[in-house]
Amino acid sequence: MTSYKLNCLKIFLGLILIAGVLTAASEQIVTEELIRIMGEQLLLKDRVINGKLPDYTENGRWIFRDKVNWFSGMTAGELFTFYELTGGEHYKTLGLKYAQALIPYAGIDYTHDMGFIFMPSVVKAYEMTGDVKYRQAGVRAAKMLAKRFNVKGNFIRAWGTLGSTSKAGWMIIDTMMNLELLFWTADETGNRELYNIAYRHAVTTMNTLIRPDGGSWHVAEFDPKTGALEKRRTHQGFSDESTWSRGQAWGIAGFAQTYRYTQDPRFYATAKKMAEYFIQKLPEDTVPVWDLDLAGKTELKDASAAAIAAVGFFELADLAKTKEDYDFFQNQAVRITRSLLKSYLFTESTREREEGLLLHTLYHYHKKWGVDESFPAGDYYLTQALKKLTDYENMKFFIEDIPERRVYTLNEKWAFLKENIHLARAFSRALQQLSPSHQKTEALL
């Protein structure tokens, strides 16, 4: 490479650095004050919950269930996230308390939601502490989930106790989010059967519940004995042929996660198609009504669907193979998360008391559960999106041999991060193959 080209490359990288610093600084909304306020609300939530199982709020106040359910692990997940955000040991201590309480439930046989329950709680606790009791609970929960797999239909049964006949052939879009527990356990233990179950379920979901236009059905009913598809329908959506907003978000995030573990491009393509459908239905503030087929009408919103989708978009950006996809999904994720933090946070409430984090969520429209309230999934995925937005607003760029300019803040401009510096070196080596005289690019990159 000539000195002229090398100087041009230096100038180009310098302009990216300057643009990144200015853009990130001007748009940053995650502040220490915001984290402090949300952290205090999370501690209030812990005091109110006090080890119980939150269901949803009524007039801003939590009501509880008697039985472990699909969001019983999310309180621990929120606390662990704030430990990662702040370094506050009290968040970690409280999170471990909730994770510990879930260990005895790793063998429950009445739900497919083992991933929702145990990934943010006991699996995260194991990753943070290395304590094998949490690993054992996570592995046991995964094996229980695997028992729900129907070999004839290649799907994981959603609801009902194992061995019961009611809804034995029902598969739902939500289960895509539970596959991560199977993939994690397969990686931890080398149990390839768990990987195969997760993979086959994802293929069945892709082929059965995703429409050609990128929308989705909530439920597929199979004959549990033959595996034959009998019907597609909804359970929480507006109609059997509509697209339930939160279900669409589950699909986006779930297929993105599945692509991360399998690298099967079909799963990324499915998540991308579902994401594009979701985005087309969004209003100006990026928070959808509770069913996407009701878009544009005066309907209740579900901010939890926006938070889940934002997490999925961050994942799609992270996994993107092209700059175009990265820019598109990163921008969408940032836009939605900032909207939630600005307009849907508990601080915007006009009620006397709010005990949740995320307002204007809708747990179950037809049963009138948590309508225009808070519920654990909305709170948990908001904290996940917050963490990813914080990482985005504080991206670091690393120049190895210039100590006084070692760290730079960047935005989404597709620059190499410190942890990805090996990619910069790979780029340097590729240039060297083109020009043997290019020996100094390593120092520049």
Instruction: List the catalytic residues.
Output: 113, 174
In whole angstroms, give the CA distance from residue 274 to residue 258.
Answer: 14
How many residues make up the chain in this entry? 445
Residues with Cβ within 8 Å of 67's Cβ and at least 6 positions away in sequence, in order, are 53
CB distance 31 to 393 below 8 Å: no
Residue 9: its H or E element: helix 3-27
Instruction: Tell me how far apart the alpha carbons of residues 304 and 378 are, in angstroms, rounded to a whole number.
Output: 4
C-beta neighbour count of 231 within 10 angstroms = 12
Rounded to the nearest 5 percent, the helix, strand and coil shares of the chain are 60, 10, 30
Written as six digits, the tokens of 170 are: 């029902």
Which residues, at least 6 apart from 374, have a Cβ–Cβ distance to it below 8 Å?
Answer: 56, 57, 60, 346, 354, 355, 356, 357, 358, 359, 361
Question: What phi, psi does 172 have (nearest 5°)?
Answer: -130, 160
Q: Residue 425: which H helix or E strand, with range?
A: helix 421-434
Specify the pairing of strand 170-172 against strand 219-222. Answer: antiparallel
Burial category of 323 from C-beta neighbours within 10 Å (exposed 0-12, middle 13-18, buried 19 and up):
exposed
Structure tokens at 116: 């929702």
Written as six digits, the tokens of 240 are 């059997």
Query: Which alpha helices (DSSP H) does 232-345 contain, by range?
Result: 245-262, 265-280, 303-319, 323-343
SS3 349: coil
Q: Give the side-chain half-sphere CA count within 13 A for 293.
A: 16
